[in-house]
Structure 1
Amino acid sequence: MLLCLFLLLAHILGEFRNRDSSLLEAAASTHHLIHLMASFSPFFPGLTDGDTISPDQDQLTGTEGKSVTMKCNYQTDESYIYLYWYKHDSDLRAPQFILWKRAKGSTDEHIPNKRYESRTTDTSTELIIRELTLADTALYYCAIDTQ
Structure 2
Amino acid sequence: MGPWLSKLLILAAFCYECKGEDSVIQPPGDVIATEGEQVTLDCQFDAVNINNLNLFWYKHELNGFPEFMLGRFSFGSKNATEFKDRFDAHLDADSKSVPLTIQRVQLSDSAVYYCALKCRGDRVLQSKGVETATEEGQITLVCHYETDDPSPYLFWYKQGENDFPKYMLMRHNFGTGDNSADFKERFHADLDANSKSVPLTIQRVQLSDSAVYYCALRPTVITGYTGYITPL
Question: TM tier, shorter chain?
Answer: 0.5 to 0.7
- 2:130 aligned with 1:59: yes
In 1, Cα distance between equivalents of 2:9 and 2:142 = 12
Counterpart residue identity of residue 141, structure 2: M
Moved over 4 A (4+): 41-48
Aligned-pair Cα RMSD in Å: 2.7
| Aligned counterpart, 1:110 | 178
- 2:217 aligned with 1:138: no
In 2, Cα distance between equivalents of 1:90 and 1:137 = 9
The match for 1:73 among 124, 133, 144 is: 144
| Aligned counterpart, 1:20 | none
TM-score computed with the length of structure 2 as normaliser: 0.44
Query: Taking structure 1 as reference, are residues 132 and 41 closer, same or farther at Cα in structure 2, changes over 3 Å only?
Result: farther
- Between 1:118-127 and 1:39-48, the stretch displaced more is 39-48
In 2, Cα distance between equivalents of 1:33 and 1:63 = 9
Please report how far the alpha carbon of residue 41 of structure 1 lies from its aligned counterpart in structure 2 after TM superposition. Answer: 7.5
8 Å contact 2:15–2:123 — kept in the other structure?
Answer: no
Runs of 5+ in structure 2 lacking a partner?
A: 17-55, 57-115, 224-232
Please report how far the alpha carbon of residue 29 of structure 1 lies from its aligned counterpart in structure 2 after TM superposition. Answer: 3.3
Query: Taking structure 1 as reference, are residues 81 and 74 closer, same or farther at Cα in structure 2, changes over 3 Å only?
Result: same
Query: Taking structure 1 as reference, are residues 72 and 56 closer, same or farther at Cα in structure 2, changes over 3 Å only?
Result: same
| Aligned counterpart, 2:10 | 37
In 1, Cα distance between equivalents of 2:177 and 2:118 = 19
Counterpart residue identity of residue 133, structure 1: Q
In 2, Cα distance between equivalents of 1:46 and 1:137 = 26
Q: Which has the larger radius of gyration?
A: 1
Query: Taking structure 1 as reference, are residues 57 and 41 closer, same or farther at Cα in structure 2, changes over 3 Å only?
Result: closer
Runs of 5+ in structure 1 lacking a partner?
A: 1-27
Identical pairs, percent: 26
TM-score computed with the length of structure 1 as normaliser: 0.67
In 2, Cα distance between equivalents of 1:83 and 1:61 = 24
| Aligned counterpart, 1:96 | 166
- Match of 1:120, SS? coil
- Match of 2:3, SS? helix
CA deviation profile, 1:102-143 (whole Å, cap 9, x unmatched): 13xx23411132210001112111111111011001000110
Query: Taking structure 1 as reference, are residues 121 and 67 closer, same or farther at Cα in structure 2, changes over 3 Å only?
Result: same
Please report how far the alpha carbon of residue 57 of structure 1 lies from its aligned counterpart in structure 2 after TM superposition. Answer: 4.7
CA deviation profile, 1:66-104 (whole Å, cap 9, x unmatched): 11100111111111211011111121x21111111113x
